[in-house]
Structure 1
Amino acid sequence: MLFLFGGLSGVTTVLFGFGGGFVTVPVVAAVTRSGDAMHIAVATSTAVMVVNSAIATVVQAHAGRLRREYLWPLAAFIAVGAVAGSVAAAETGDGTLRVLFVAYLGVTIVDSMLRGGFLRPQGDLRPLGPLTTTVGGVGIGAVASFLGVGGSVLTVPLLRRKGLAMAEATAMANPLSLPVAVIGTAVYASAGSGPVGYLDPLAGAALLAGSLPTIALVRQVADRLPDQVHAIAYVLLLAVALLAVAIGS
């Protein structure tokens, strides 16, 4: 099961910039027989995202989809927030973490559907403002590392509303997820009672065995998706992840 869902996480990494978070968190939580299932799922998700996001970043860079002005210094402030979010998640109860994961997904889905600028791009490109880069970046890092989702659920809507096409917005979610994934993995590996903290190495290996070949296979698909179809598929995938966690609880 983990191998198959790893393949799906590879698809979502390339097409939606998820790094696997919204696929791996529900499935690892569902198969883990432990009172710390959500902590283990979030921790393992961040470890998988380190590899998936790094490889996808190289792929997207070679495809010419990355825009430096939207990546730096935003990535640095995301890293700062990721430290706080990871530490807070390690100290939060498993049930609370699950509820907050579902709640945040619900808010994001409703916001994407009802507020303008996501399902259809808003004309000309606009730069990130200083407040968005600094305070917004710290907030993105904190929320993303707390929930183990890498940040794409925050960065993709943000960049989309700055006028970027879905192919570009999702491509840049991968390098912006790397600070969250690296810092989160380090924190979770030092917490918990396991030999590598909350991380489940076997689950992570199974997921990566499925995701890495898939990333190589689907890297050309993003350019062929119509922009609005791409945006709608993003929202639908969030809805599936929400249902998976909610039912699993």
Structure 2
Amino acid sequence: MGALLIDSGPLFLLAVFLLLGLVTGIPAGMFGIGGGLVLVPALVWLFTWMGFDSQFVVQAAIGTSLGAIVPTAMASARGHCLKGGVHVPSVRRLLLPIVVGATLGAWLAIQIDGRALARIFGVFEIAIALWLLAAVRPPTRPEAGRAVWFAAGTGIGAVSALIGIAGGTLTTPFLLRQGRAIRQAIGSAAALGIPIAIAGSLVYLLPALLDPALEAPAWSLGYLYLPAVAGIALGAAISVRGGVWLAHHLPVLMLRRAFAGVLMLAGLYMLLR
């Protein structure tokens, strides 16, 4: 069946990934996360089913997720910005360290064995699910100095690009701790997902130019599988506005619990695959 899916051609593949994008656009808009926590496990499953080399699957899922997140994060950030949900000074302070961290994190991911990377992702995802279920809001403290903001931004960017997410699950708690309102924290995290995704996906693309030994499937550019990038980005661009609307109209606690259940299942899959 996997081989049949590949042989069906790029248009059929585009339709498959368009559907995946429609699904992941909702949490991207709701939580400012770009959908990566859902995308990566789904792509690992799909790429495995399609018969991709096991040494290629996890990095390809993460690189493809970041590539698809670029337009998704743009659409999500625009939606939050129109509703006054982006705190521009916070975005400016985190921008440079986040780009530095994302570049380093993506480079590290390319060096790690795929199975180990999958386990790292699974542990992180389950930890985020437990945090969401606990509904613990980080205590607000006097705003930290530049060094703390730079260290936090570098760490957020590195972890995000390492596992293929836009960083909202890390950026949002940090901004809450700095005294930002919940919806401003979410909107600002969505905006900062853009540089994370761009810097990270460029690094995952580099093996196509620098590593002649890389045996990538057709329609791939480095660790970016182009039909998936295009289809997911298009689908998410359609549905992300619905997620933004939900974020501003539904109870936050209900959203957190529903999303936590999805993350728990996805994290277990990544650990046990």
Asked if Structure 1 and Structure 2 have the same fold, meaning a TM-score greater than 0.5 normalized by the shorter chain, the answer is yes
In the TM superposition, what are the counterparts of 1:162-241 in structure 2 within 5 Å?
Answer: 162-191=178-207, 193=214, 194=216, 195-241=220-266
Contact 1:57 1:171 in 2 (8 A): yes
Contact 1:189 1:199 in 2 (8 A): yes
**4+ residue runs of structure 1 moved beyond 6 angstroms?**
none
Matched AA of 2:146:
P
- 1:139 alignment partner, one of 155, 160, 163: 155
Contact 1:125 1:164 in 2 (8 A): no
Please tell me the root mean square deviation across aligned C-alpha atoms, in Å. 2.2
In the TM superposition, what are the counterparts of 1:27-106 in structure 2 within 5 Å?
Answer: 27-32=42-47, 33-34=51-52, 35=54, 36-106=56-126
Q: What CA deviation, in whole Å up to 9, does each residue of 1:7-32 have, x standing for no partner?
A: 12111111011112112111111011
1:22 corresponds to 2:37: yes
Please give the TM-score of this superposition, normalised by the length of structure 1: 0.88
Matched residue count: 244
User: Against the structure 1 CA distance between its residues 12 and 71, is the aligned structure 2 distance closer, same or farther, given a 3 Å change threshold?
Assistant: same
Q: Which residue of 2 aligns with 1:12?
A: 27
Matched AA of 1:174:
A
Contact 1:166 1:231 in 2 (8 A): no
- 2:166 alignment partner, one of 150, 159, 170: 150
Q: What's the CA shift for 1:245? A: 2.5
CA distance in 1, matches of 2:129, 2:39: 19
Contact 1:70 1:128 in 2 (8 A): no
Question: Helix, strand or coil for the counterpart of 1:72?
Answer: helix
Q: What's the CA shift for 1:208? A: 2.1
Question: Which structure 1 residue ranges, 5 or more long, are not aligned?
Answer: none
Q: What's the CA shift for 1:130? A: 2.7
CA distance in 1, matches of 2:203, 2:30: 28
Matched AA of 1:82:
A
Please give the TM-score of this superposition, normalised by the length of structure 2: 0.81
User: Against the structure 1 CA distance between its residues 57 and 128, is the aligned structure 2 distance closer, same or farther, given a 3 Å change threshold?
Assistant: farther
Of 42-51 and 147-156, deviating more is 147-156
CA distance in 2, matches of 1:232, 1:163: 23
Question: Which structure 2 residue ranges, 5 or more long, are not aligned?
Answer: 1-15, 209-213
Q: What's the CA shift for 1:228? A: 2.6
User: Against the structure 1 CA distance between its residues 88 and 63, is the aligned structure 2 distance closer, same or farther, given a 3 Å change threshold?
Assistant: same
Q: What's the CA shift for 1:233? A: 3.6
Q: Which residue of 1 aligns with 2:11?
A: none
Q: What's the CA shift for 1:246? A: 3.4
Q: What's the CA shift for 1:166? A: 3.6
CA distance in 2, matches of 1:108, 1:216: 24
User: Against the structure 1 CA distance between its residues 219 and 66, is the aligned structure 2 distance closer, same or farther, given a 3 Å change threshold?
Assistant: same
Question: Helix, strand or coil for the counterpart of 2:248?
Answer: helix
Q: What CA deviation, in whole Å up to 9, does each residue of 1:191-238 have, x standing for no partner?
A: 263351011001122212321111234432211112332333443343
Of 145-154 and 105-114, deviating more is 105-114
Matched AA of 1:222:
A
Matched AA of 2:192:
L
Q: What CA deviation, in whole Å up to 9, does each residue of 1:84-124 have, x standing for no partner?
A: 11111111111111011011223333345558425xxx5x6
Larger radius of gyration: 2
